A and B are shown apart, each in its own frame.
Chain A
Amino acid sequence: MHELPQQLVNGLLLGSMYGLIAIGYTMVYGIVQLINFAHGEIFMVGGFGALTVWLWLPGGTTMWVAIPLMIIGAVIVSTTVAVGAERFAYRPLRGAPRLAPLITAIGLSLALQQAVWAWYPNAKSSRTFPEIPGDSIHIGSVTIQPGDLFLVVAAPICMFALGWFVMKTRVGRGMQATAQDPDTAKLMGVNTDRVIVVAFALGAAFAGIAAVAYGFRYGEVNFRMGFLWGLKAFTAAVLGGIGNIYGAMIGGLVLGIAEAMATAYMNDIPGMDKLGGQSWADVWAFVLLIVVLLVRPQGLLGERVADRA
């Protein structure tokens, strides 16, 4: 078990990406009770936004300049697509039976995938993402690849910024109010339409940042990446208790660590010798979801039901 710390770090890295994406699912669900199944694709287009910025930059641009511009590119593309989807696909369906926006979300997800596949140059197979130059960092027995440094820095900053925004700012309080009781929030003067747009935009911005992290970690982006990552992040959101932003972060981390552990150690357990390794990682993620939901149907930090006196 000498590599346990390394596997923990791998799990945390994986998990903080799940968490960043999961926030988009959970915030939108918390406010409009919509599962935005197109969110995986909002993440994906962010990756292509960052790549596009990189391709525009003159050759030889240093990463210190390129990374912030790529983040901006990813965030702009992701939020534009998400806010557009809210305005033109979901808002007209508000008040419609719940299946209608759900099917719209699935349709939108397919449309975005196909749009990138069809129109982004050479996107029919994976497109290479730039690398963060430098050597691996060794801390004790733990090695962190340069490509992951972005995530190590970005994930905690994003999480703290979000916590601060929701708890301490006026608009954040308006979001909490809208999530708890939309009609009464209106009676306080909260423009709930605007709050919904902010929720979509914030979730998309985080998904865009997660997509940049994905690119640096795996060295590529592709039009299909939103599907499985979206599904895993949704799993993380449900695991943590959908509607709760801290739940999304913790659900992401738990999922990431569980996946890393199962991948690394499942083969060592007698009788389970074919159930470890990367190919089984997804299976164990969903097994974890099923187990947690059996014990705590509301998720790890899910809302208590009896809140009103």
Chain B
Amino acid sequence: MTALLEVEDLRVAYGKIEAVKGISFTVEAGQVVTLIGTNGAGKTTTLRTLSGLLKPVGGSIKFNGKTLRKYRADQIVSLGLAHSPEGRHIFPRMTIENNLRLGAYLRTDKTGIEKDIQRAYDLFPILGERRKQAAGTLSGGEQQMLAMGRALMSQPKLLMLDEPSMGLSPIMMQKIMATIAELKAGGTTILLVEQNAQAALSLADHGHVMEVGKIVLSGTGGDLLHDESVRKAYLGED
């Protein structure tokens, strides 16, 4: 069986500086795959390339049997790849509800959209309570919920989450991770980029450790969680 996402020898550069130096990995339907690593490892660059915001200098990306290189970012969304960006990037001057509606920008099924907005409110009740409020007034954790809810609105085949726990309080982080687990249990395929390796690896079927643009270690979530070098480098143990 072929994977939903196949990345092969992907290379991305900012000018002359190569940020991603030939990485390969796959994501199968129904899996949660995580990329972990420190700042500057190239994780965010990888996601931004997958969603078409950056153009690769080499390698290939196949999503659902299609070569992504030929598509613009907005077309890639229509193929079923949703990206909740690092730093949340909700639209601050729009209401929460309009933020969600934008997530469904390419959909035309009105009743389906309303149903999915309701589903986002069920998933994150605080969003429903504040639906008419400007999104910029939400706290960091609530903005993260909105960003995830918004990404789900496109009914993606693959959901890419970039640092969903960044800058959140421990309680809020647990909430977000629990939601990701809930989405996983519901069958959503997720590519998760995290600096919080412990939380990410406990959720993931597969994990890849990135260092300065390369994948240096791969394995199942459990394997990596118990790998000595990972524990030393990312889990703060010695």
Contact = CB atoms under 8 A, between A and B. Distances in A.
Contacts of A192: 74
A184 B105 CA distance: 12
Given A186-B73, A187-B85, A189-B106, A308 B136 contact: yes
A244 to B, nearest CB: 10
B140 A184 contact: no
B77 interface: yes
B73 A177 contact: no
B29 interface: no
A185 B100 CA distance: 12
Interface stretch (A5-13, A31-39, A113-121, A168-176): A168-176
Given A184-B89, A187-B85, A176 B105 contact: no
Contacts of B66: none
A180 to B, nearest CB: 5
Nearest to A191: B74
B101 interface: yes
A309 B139 contact: yes
B96 to A, nearest CB: 13
A188 B72 contact: no
Given A174-B102, A188-B77, A188-B150, A180 B94 contact: yes
B231 to A, nearest CB: 34
B105 A189 contact: yes
A282 interface: no
B91 A184 contact: yes
Interface string A34-76: 0000000000000000000000000000000000000000000
A189 B89 contact: no
A146 B166 CA distance: 63
B138 interface: yes
B112 to A, nearest CB: 15
A135 interface: no
Contacts of A181: 89, 91
Contacts of A183: 53, 73, 85, 89
B78 interface: yes
B179 to A, nearest CB: 19
Contacts of B154: 188-189
A307 B90 CA distance: 11
Nearest to A193: B72
A309 B136 contact: yes
Contacts of B91: 176-177, 180-181, 184
B221 interface: no
Contacts of B53: 183, 186-187
A193 to B, nearest CB: 8
Contacts of A245: none
Contact of B105 (A170, A180, A303, A309): A170
Interface residues of B, number: 31
Interface residues of A, number: 21
B103 interface: yes
B136 A307 contact: yes
Contacts of B93: 176, 180, 303, 307
Contacts of A187: 51, 53, 73, 77, 82-83, 85, 89, 151
A190 interface: yes
A183 B83 CA distance: 11
A188 B139 contact: no
B117 to A, nearest CB: 14
B136 A188 contact: no
The residue among A180, A185, A187 with the most chain B CB atoms within 10 A of its own CB is A187
Interface string A271-309: 000000000000000000000000000000001000111
Nearest to A308: B92
B52 interface: yes
A184 B72 contact: no
B98 A173 contact: yes
B34 interface: no
Contact of B52 (A170, A180, A184, A186): A186
Contacts of B189: none
A188 to B, nearest CB: 5
A189 B136 contact: no
B74 A190 contact: yes
A-B residue pairs, 5 tightest by C-beta: A189-B77, A186-B73, A189-B106, A307-B92, A184-B89
Given A181-B91, A187-B82, A307-B92, 11 more contacts: A173-B105, A174-B105, A176-B94, A177-B91, A183-B73, A187-B83, A187-B85, A187-B151, A188-B154, A190-B102, A191-B74
